[in-house]
Amino acid sequence: MSDDSDFREFLARQTEAEMAIVAGDAAPRLAIYSRRDPVSLLGAWGPNRFGWEDVSRTFLWVAERLGTGTYRNYRYDIEVAEAIGDMAYSVGFERFDSVEADGSVEPVEVRVTHVYRREDGEWKIVHRHGDYPPQDESPPPT
């Protein structure tokens, strides 16, 4: 993790924003994204969007979908994060439970990578990539 304290503070705000969108509130996520192109999204549910208008519209759709109350116990686990000058990145996992119609609970894990840019002294997210981890088919350690 970088020693850049303002970046660490931003990551804490981002975690709060991610928790809010799972609860159906897109406003905190929208507030931490850049409005300046290039801005991009490669989403876990399939949407690939470029430009603020399309990215923000997709986040509103995601909040509506997540806000149905079928998700709980959200965690955003950042594994790697570094700020270098006015650019930064993070790699981690979003983990939560999906409550199915029959009451059963399915764990969900999404791999996420974010790219950040400092704009006018403030960190903003400029790219998000999220996907479901594939099955690990690598050979076992020897």
Q: How confident is the model over 49-88, as pLDDT tens digits? A: 999 999 999 999 999 988 777 888 899 999 999 999 999 9
CA of 91: how far to CAs of 13, 43, 82, 110, 134, in Å? 16, 15, 10, 11, 16
Q: Give the predicted TM-score (pTM) of the model.
A: 0.89
Q: How far is it, in rounded angstroms, from Cα 97 to Cα 11?
A: 22
Question: Which residue in the block uniquely carries the two structure tokens 């006018």?
Answer: 120
Instruction: Sketch the domain layout of the chain as residue ranges.
Output: 5-131
Other Cβ atoms within 10 Å of 96 Cβ, number: 19
> Between 3.40.1130.10, 3.10.450.50, 3.30.300.340, 3.10.129.10, what CATH number should domain 5-131 receive?
3.10.450.50
| pLDDT of 133 above 80 | yes
Which tokens in the block code for residue 130? 């999220």
Which one-letter amino acid corresponds to residue 105? V
Other Cβ atoms within 10 Å of 129 Cβ, number: 16
| pLDDT of 2 above 50 | no
pLDDT at 134: 86
Res. 47 pLDDT band, cuts 50 70 90: confident
| pLDDT of 1 above 50 | no
CA of 28: how far to CAs of 22, 71, 135, in Å? 11, 18, 32
Mean pLDDT of 19-44: 95
Answer whether 44's CB lies under 8 Å from 65's CB.
no
Compute the Cα dihedral for 117, 122, 8, 61 and give only its sign: negative
Q: How confident is the model over 77-103, as pLDDT tens digits? A: 999 999 999 999 999 999 999 888 888
